[in-house]
Amino acid sequence: MCKLLPAFVSFLAFSFTVSVEAGRTVSAADVGVTAGVDTAYVNGELLTMNASNDIAQAVAVKGDKIYAVGSNSDLRALTGPNTRVVDLASKTLLPGFIDAHGHFPESGVNALYRVNANSPPIGTTQSIADIIARLREKAEKTPKGQWVQGFGYDDTLLAEKRHPTRDDLDKASTEHPIWLSHISGHFGVANSLALDRAKITADTPDPKGGVIRRYPPGTKKPNGVFEEVALFQILGVIPPWSLAQSLDAISVAALEYARKGVTTAQSGLTLDAWLDTFITAASTPSALPIRVVVWPAFKATDKTIPESPMLKLGAVKLIADGSIQGYSGYLSQPYAVPPPGGKADYVGYPFVSREELTARVKALHTAGYQIAIHGNGDAAIDNILYAYREAQQASPRPDARHIIVHSQMAREDQLDAMKELGIIPSFFSLHTYYWGDRHRDIFMGRERAYRISPAQSAHKRGLRFTIHTDTPVVPMDPLLLVWAAVNRISTGGDIIGVEQRIMPIEALRAITIDAAWQHFDENRTGSIEPGKLADLVILAESPLRFPLHIRDIQVLETIVGGQTIYKNW
Ligand SMILES: [Zn+2]
C-alpha cells in the first residue's frame, strides 16, 4: 500500500479546478452552466487513477463526459435545479474497468448457443460421460444435420485425464456434426460427421503449426482432436452466426461484462464477419452498451470503421505459440512432465516460424500498425522479441506500444528487452488461480510456475503492463483478476510465487489507466479526470483495504458515457 499515504495527503490538499478541454482551465464561476451539471456523485471515495493516484470525494458529469472532480463543497457550485445528485454513501467509485485482452462477445455466444463443458470451479463437468450426455441433450433439440457446439472442457480436470475423441462424441450424435472447444481455445474435438464435413481423412497431412491427432499405434486415422493451426480446417466449415444471433450474443455478453464493472471490452482475433456485426451494432442505438476495441485477426482490415465513441480499431493480432496447459506453449527448456506419450525433451512448438513472424511484424510495423502477439512460452517470446526488434531497427517508431499477449513464461532478460523496446506485456494473471497447482506439479515445475505472469518483475523495472481475463477462456471478472494478481492464490490454496505479487493499486491501474494506455485510449478513458468520458464503476467497498477480500466486493453500478447500464443497489 505504498501509494496510499501520499494519495490521502493529496486528497486533503485537493484543489478544485475545472478543465473543460486539455490545457484550458476555468474556475467554477466561468463555467456558465446555470442549469448545473447533469449528475453529481458525492460523498464517495473516488480512486481517480490519475498520475498521482489521487483520491477525491465527488465527480460531476455533463453529457457523456466528466466535468469536474473534487470535494463535495467544490462541486456544490456546479449543481443546479436539474442536476441529479447521487449520494455514494462512502461507496467507492473507480474508472470503469477496461478489458486489456479477451474475445468479446464469445462468452455471449457460448451462453446462448454452446454446451458448457467446463469443470469446477467454472462449471460442473467431471468426466467425458458428462460431456457426452450434455452434447446429446443439445443434439436432441437441434435439427439433424445442423452443428452442435460445446466449449470449455479441460482434459487435465476430467476423470479420464485425456481429451475426448471422435468416438466419444459419436456417442452424443452421429447425425449432427459436433465441435467441442478446449478451455484454452487452442484445441478442439470433432465427431465423425464433423470430420466428414471438413473432408479430413487419414490422408490429410498435418498443417504447419498444427496437429491432427491420430489413433495409435502406427495408424493414420484422425482421432478427432485438433491442435492450433489445424483448428481452422474445422472452424472454416462451421457456418457463421446470423446477424440477429450475433447481436443477441453481444447484448448477453455486454450485460455480463457490465455486471462486473467493465465499460470497455476487447475483441481479440476478430474476423471480418464479426467486425461487420460490431459496425452494425455501433450504429444501432443501445445495441452496443459498452465500448469495444477490436483487434483484427492476422492482418490489417481494409474496412473503414465509422466514427463512433463505442467502437475502436486497435492492434492487429498475431499468434506465436499455443498454451502451456495444452502442451503447445513453445519453451526453451522441456516441460516438467512430458505430455502423454511424449519425449522427455518435449518443448512444445511455434505457431509460425521466427522468419514468417518477423516478415509479418515488419510489414505491419512499417505500415504504422500497433501489433499484439500471443506468446506464452519463453521460446515463443524470444521469437516475438526478435521480430519486434528487427521491425524497430528497420523503421524506428518511438511510441508503437506493441503488445505481448500473456507473456506467461517471460524471463527476466526478456522483461529487460520489453522495457528497452517499449513493449507492453499483458499478463493472464488468473492462471495462478485456475491452473497454478497444475503449472507447479505438471507443466512447469515449482521454480518456473512460481514466476508465471511476472507482474512484480515488470513493475520493478518500471515496465508498464496490463492484466486480462482472456474471456471466454475464464469468466469475465476484473475483481477476481485483481485479487489473483495481488494474492496469487491457487484453487488448491498454494501461493504461486510470493515474489511476483503486486499491490492492489498497481493491479487496479493495470485494468484502468494502463489498459487505456495500451489501447491508445488514455486521453479518453481509464481515469476519473475532467474531460474524459464518464465511464465509471461503483463498488460496495474499496479494493485497497483488504487484499484477500477483493474478489468478494460487489459491483453496485456501471456507467458508460454518463448513462447507467447496470445497477444493483
Ligand atoms: Zn486470447
* CA atoms of 251 and 253, how far apart (whole Å): 6
Mean pLDDT across the stretch 381-390? Answer: 98
CA-to-CA separations, 78 to 199, 467, 531, 564, in angstroms, rounded: 68, 37, 15, 21
Residue with cell 473507480: 94
Distance of CA 185 from the midpoint of ligand 1 (Å): 8
Q: Rounded mean pLDDT of the chain?
A: 93
pLDDT-derived band at 34 (thresholds 50, 70, 90) equals low
| Contact (Cβ atoms closer than 8 angstroms) between residue 77 and residue 100 | no
CB neighbourhood size of 81 (10 A): 7
* CA atoms of 267 and 247, how far apart (whole Å): 14
Dihedral of alpha carbons 40, 93, 464, 300, sign: negative
Distance of CA 363 from the midpoint of ligand 1 (Å): 23
pLDDT-derived band at 311 (thresholds 50, 70, 90) equals very high
Distance of CA 469 from the midpoint of ligand 1 (Å): 8
Ion ligand 1, residue ranges at CB < 5 A: 268, 470
pLDDT-derived band at 15 (thresholds 50, 70, 90) equals very low
Distance of CA 359 from the midpoint of ligand 1 (Å): 22
Q: What is the model's pLDDT at position 35?
A: 72
| Contact (Cβ atoms closer than 8 angstroms) between residue 75 and residue 58 | yes
Distance of CA 90 from the midpoint of ligand 1 (Å): 37
Residue 365 is placed in which grid cell?
A: 510495423
Distance of CA 369 from the midpoint of ligand 1 (Å): 19
Q: What is the DSSP letter of 489?
A: B
Kindly report, residue by residue over 226-273, the tens digit of the pLDDT: 999 999 999 999 999 999 999 999 999 999 999 999 999 999 999 999
Mean pLDDT across the stretch 377-383? Answer: 98
Distance of CA 216 from the midpoint of ligand 1 (Å): 31
Which are the contacts of 87, defined by CB distance < 8 A and separation ≥ 6? 42, 43
* CA atoms of 413 and 510, how far apart (whole Å): 22
Distance of CA 297 from the midpoint of ligand 1 (Å): 11
Distance of CA 374 from the midpoint of ligand 1 (Å): 7
Q: What is the model's pLDDT at position 217?
A: 64
User: pTM of the entire structure?
Assistant: 0.91
Q: Which alpha helices (DSSP H) does 260-310 contain, by range?
A: 272-282
Distance of CA 102 from the midpoint of ligand 1 (Å): 5
Distance of CA 133 from the midpoint of ligand 1 (Å): 28
* CA atoms of 343 and 565, how far apart (whole Å): 53
Mean pLDDT across the stretch 432-447? Answer: 98
Q: What is the model's pLDDT at position 10?
A: 34
Q: What is the model's pLDDT at position 33?
A: 52
Distance of CA 307 from the midpoint of ligand 1 (Å): 26
Of all residues in the chain, what percent carry a pLDDT higher than 70? 94
| Contact (Cβ atoms closer than 8 angstroms) between residue 92 and residue 543 | yes
Amino acid sitting at position 13: A
* CA atoms of 180 and 226, how far apart (whole Å): 10
Q: Note the maximum CA span of the chain.
A: 83
Buried b (16+ CB within 10 A) or exposed e, 499-526: ebbbbbbbbbbbbbbbbbbbbebbebbb
Distance of CA 537 from the midpoint of ligand 1 (Å): 25
Mean pLDDT across the stretch 436-447? Answer: 98
Distance of CA 31 from the midpoint of ligand 1 (Å): 45
Distance of CA 326 from the midpoint of ligand 1 (Å): 14
Which are the contacts of 128, defined by CB distance < 8 A and separation ≥ 6? 158, 159, 160, 162, 164, 168
Kindly report, residue by residue over 195-213, the tens digit of the pLDDT: 999 999 999 999 999 999 9
Mean pLDDT across the stretch 280-286? Answer: 92
Distance of CA 61 from the midpoint of ligand 1 (Å): 34
Check whether 191 has a pLDDT greater than 50. yes
Of the candidates 193, 186, 187, the residue with the CA atom closest to the CA atom of residue 142: 193
Which are the contacts of 493, defined by CB distance < 8 A and separation ≥ 6? none
Distance of CA 376 from the midpoint of ligand 1 (Å): 11
Distance of CA 471 from the midpoint of ligand 1 (Å): 7
Distance of CA 268 from the midpoint of ligand 1 (Å): 6
Check whether 489 has a pLDDT greater than 50. yes
Angle between helices 412-421 and 378-394 (to 10 degrees): 20
Of the candidates 426, 435, 429, 436, the residue with the CA atom closest to the CA atom of residue 404: 426
pLDDT-derived band at 28 (thresholds 50, 70, 90) equals very low
Mean pLDDT across the stretch 385-410? Answer: 98
Q: What is the DSSP letter of 552?
A: G
Of the candidates 122, 133, 135, 230, the residue with the CA atom closest to the CA atom of residue 180: 135
Kindly report, residue by residue over 37-75, the tens digit of the pLDDT: 999 999 999 999 999 999 999 999 999 999 999 999 999
Burial of 304 (0-12, 13-18, 19+ CB in 10 A): exposed
Kindly report, residue by residue over 508-557, the tens digit of the pLDDT: 999 999 999 999 999 999 999 999 999 999 999 999 999 999 999 999 99
Distance of CA 218 from the midpoint of ligand 1 (Å): 34
Q: What is the distance, to the nearest Å, from the Cα of residue 114 to the centroid of all Cα atoms in its chain?
A: 20
* CA atoms of 523 and 19, how far apart (whole Å): 13
* CA atoms of 497 and 484, how far apart (whole Å): 11
Distance of CA 271 from the midpoint of ligand 1 (Å): 14
Check whether 3 has a pLDDT greater than 70. no
Distance of CA 103 from the midpoint of ligand 1 (Å): 6
Distance of CA 173 from the midpoint of ligand 1 (Å): 30
Mean pLDDT across the stretch 453-461? Answer: 98
CB neighbourhood size of 232 (10 A): 14
